[in-house]
Copies of this chain bind each other. A is one copy, B any other.
């Protein structure tokens, strides 16, 4: 089917040298004489030779692949992170292999096995769970793995995250500073570490301002728009108990809340303030433009790959000591979905 592909041997024959010389001409040009170097170049040109990467990798015992484990590649949330990672990896001569785990532990394990089978040199985890094979790995030899996005408490692996607690604290504080006292927490799933951290920040803000925490003002969602709609309907229906501000753990839920608020004839932000989280692409174009916490996703990816490349670099000493998580800063983006607390 394919025309026969040129190997290093073909090049050697054309150039009238040994394959060793061809290889050297390619990888350590300074050690080969001017004239033969030219002969080899010419031979490569005429044969159209491209090195068989698999053979080289076998010999060098590396793959040049960085495996990226992501819970759902279909979720646009990850695309910017991906982009940051891909760019850094590509610049360093690595390729990015995506493993869509679909949150399935079996698939996670399968992909994690790529590390052992030399199919990948390193791994970046975007999902907040350690694949089984890794958990059992000997404690001394830290595998070339970096956690991004969600931290995994006590796993000792290099991690890059945003400070969810602090960001939530600041967002909630912003609402408090605008006079809001009844502030709801539209949270993510209970078991999700992001939610745990964000809820902690929300609570700290209330506590520090002497506001009691009302468990009825917490809604457990799943980051989706629909969850936000449900939250809005449930929290905003009763004018008596209605919060004037809502801190939402995702822009999706914030948008859902706003949809529900409009349904109920409430104006945002005049009647109710809604704070989002993420700063998704459409946040600024929504009506009203969303006040939110900007997650620097691309930056997150860049940091993750930087950390990993650093870890992979043979020149840097092998740091076995647990390193503190790298924290990429968030930013409060104040738009028009929040405002002063209505009187009354």
The chain A residues found within 8 Å of chain B, CB to CB, are 1-3, 5, 50-55, 57-58, 63, 65, 72-76, 78-80, 82-83, 86-87, 90, 95-100, 113-114, 116-119, 138, 141, 225, 255-256, 258-259, 262, 281-282, 284-287, 298, 318
Q: Is the CB of B98 within 8 A of A86?
A: yes
Cα A259 to Cα B287 in complex, Å, equals 8
Q: How far is the CA of A53 from the CA of B111 in the complex (A)?
A: 13
* The 5 residue pairs across chains A and B that have the minimum distance between CB atoms: A76-B76, A74-B83, A50-B117, A53-B119, A54-B58
Question: A79-B76, A82-B74 given as contacts; is B225 within 8 A of A282 (CB)?
Answer: yes
Q: Are A285 and B298 closer than 8 Å at their CB atoms?
A: no
Knowing A100-B87, A100-B90, A285-B255, the reply to whether A118 touches B72 (Cβ < 8 A) is no
Copies of this chain, tallied across the complex: 2
Q: A98 with B98: in contact, given A1-B318, A298-B74 (CB under 8 Å)? A: yes
Which residues of the partner chain B approach A2 to less than 8 Å between Cβ atoms? Answer: 141
Partner among B51, B73, B259 whose Cβ is within 8 Å of the Cβ of A83: B73
Which residue of chain B lies nearest to A284 when distances are taken between CB atoms in the complex? B225
11 more CB-based (< 8 A) A-B contacts, given A225-B282, A259-B287: A1-B318, A54-B119, A73-B82, A73-B83, A74-B82, A76-B281, A79-B79, A82-B98, A96-B97, A96-B98, A225-B281
A301's nearest neighbour on chain B, judged by CB, is B74
Whose C-beta in chain B lies nearest to the C-beta of A110? B90
| Contact indicator B118/A53 (Cβ below 8 Å) | yes
Bound form: Cα–Cα A76–B282 in Å: 11
Question: Contact at A116–B281, with CB atoms within 8 Å?
Answer: no
* Shortest distance from the beta carbon of A69 to any chain B beta carbon, whole Å: 12
- Report whether A225 and B285 are in contact in the complex, using a CB–CB cutoff of 8 Å: yes
A97, B100: Cβ atoms closer than 8 Å: no
Q: Is the CB of A73 within 8 A of B86?
A: yes
Whole-angstrom distance between the Cβ of A194 and the nearest chain B Cβ: 19
Of the candidates B52, B99, B100, the one whose C-beta lies within 8 Å of that of A117 is B52
Question: In the complex the two chains form, what is the Cα distance from A43 to B287 in whole Å?
Answer: 64
A1 contacts B58, CB within 8 Å?
Answer: no
Contacts of A259 in B (CB 8 A): 285, 287
Bound Cα distance from A53 to B282, whole angstroms:
43
| Alpha-carbon distance between A1 and B21 when the two chains are bound, in angstroms | 32
Question: Closest CB-CB distance, A115 to chain B, in whole Å?
Answer: 9
The CA-CA distance from A78 to B80 in the complex, in Å, is 11
Q: Cα distance A95–B119 when bound, in Å?
A: 10
Closest to A51 in B: B117
Q: Is the pair A141, B3 in contact by a Cβ cutoff of 8 Å?
A: yes
Q: How far is the CA of A113 from the CA of B80 in the complex (A)?
A: 26
CA distance A290 to B171 in the complex (A): 30
Alpha-carbon separation in the docked complex, A314 to B55 (Å):
24
- The docked-state distance in angstroms from the alpha carbon of A97 to that of B96 is 6
Chain B nearest CB, measured from A53 CB (Å): 4
